[in-house]
Chains A and B, each alone.
Chain A
Amino acid sequence: MKLLRVSMAGAAFGLMLVGSAPTAVAGIKGSNGCQATGTWRSTGVVVDAATADGVIAIPRADTVDWQGSVAAATGVYSGSVWIELPPPFGEVEVDSWAGNSLTTSNAGSHEYDLPSLVPSGVEITVAGEHVDQNGSCVGSVTVEVEGGAFDSPLTIASLAGTAVTGAGLAAMLRPMIRRVV
């Protein structure tokens, strides 16, 4: 009976995890015909925001050649790129832009080197939005830093936290369970 209860709780927990996967917005949605691509120099990976699907593995350090465009001259424009956090924590802005322009595209290179605290193998949703006089567009891609879970010291810290709080919890609950039995 106890085994049945434990397996049912385990199954419910598993179902909860599977069902909790957020629905990613693949591609770009919007009214101003915007496009965005990025090419990672060391790996040659090309990500087109309009067609990107699944999880894209990126190196911990690299240079990205990026390019963005809209269908017509932007006029007054603004936009931003952010990382989505679990609700209700919202998002962390990575970059933003604003101005007034008659051009329809922009391009550049960005060198990055993520600190070791940024965990590897974690699915991170990076989303972006661009607004100009012709409309707006929004899109997202899911990326993960190449490497294993133990590349980040956060993993050891988290496992230690689990062990310490688990042991403390067991120590607090044990007398109560013994009293009943």
Chain B
Amino acid sequence: MNIGRMLGVALLSMLFMLFVALDLVLFGVLPLNSVMVTVLPVIGLLAGGAIVASRRNRTTTG
């Protein structure tokens, strides 16, 4: 498994979700003190890593 690619996607995905959370706050969808502002980047980090891992597994097993 390419750990470098997995880390890259996970970090970029975390940054993407951080900006999405910021957008949601700035457009008044989420209040400033919402826990989602913290949770969304973590979801991005985990989802990014999981997507790369699952795709890698599919290409090796399929």
Residues of A within 8 A of B (CB): 16-17, 20-22, 83-89, 119, 121-125, 142, 144, 149, 152, 154-155, 158-159, 161-162, 165-166, 168-169, 172-173, 176-177, 179-180
Contact = CB atoms under 8 A, between A and B. Distances in A.
Contacts of B56: 176
B19 A20 contact: no
B50 interface: no
Contacts of A85: 32-33
Contact of B32 (A122, A149, A152): A122
Interface in B1-44: 5, 8-9, 12-13, 15-16, 19-20, 22-39
26 contacts: A16-B39, A17-B30, A17-B36, A20-B34, A20-B36, A22-B35, A83-B32, A85-B32, A85-B33, A86-B34, A86-B36, A86-B37, A87-B38, A123-B31, A149-B27, A154-B22, A154-B26, A155-B27, A162-B20, A165-B12, A165-B16, A169-B9, A169-B12, A169-B16, A172-B12, A173-B9
B35 A86 contact: yes
B36 A84 contact: no
Nearest to B27: A149
Q: Ordered nearest first, which 3 A-B pairs have the shortest CB separation?
A: A123-B31, A86-B37, A165-B16
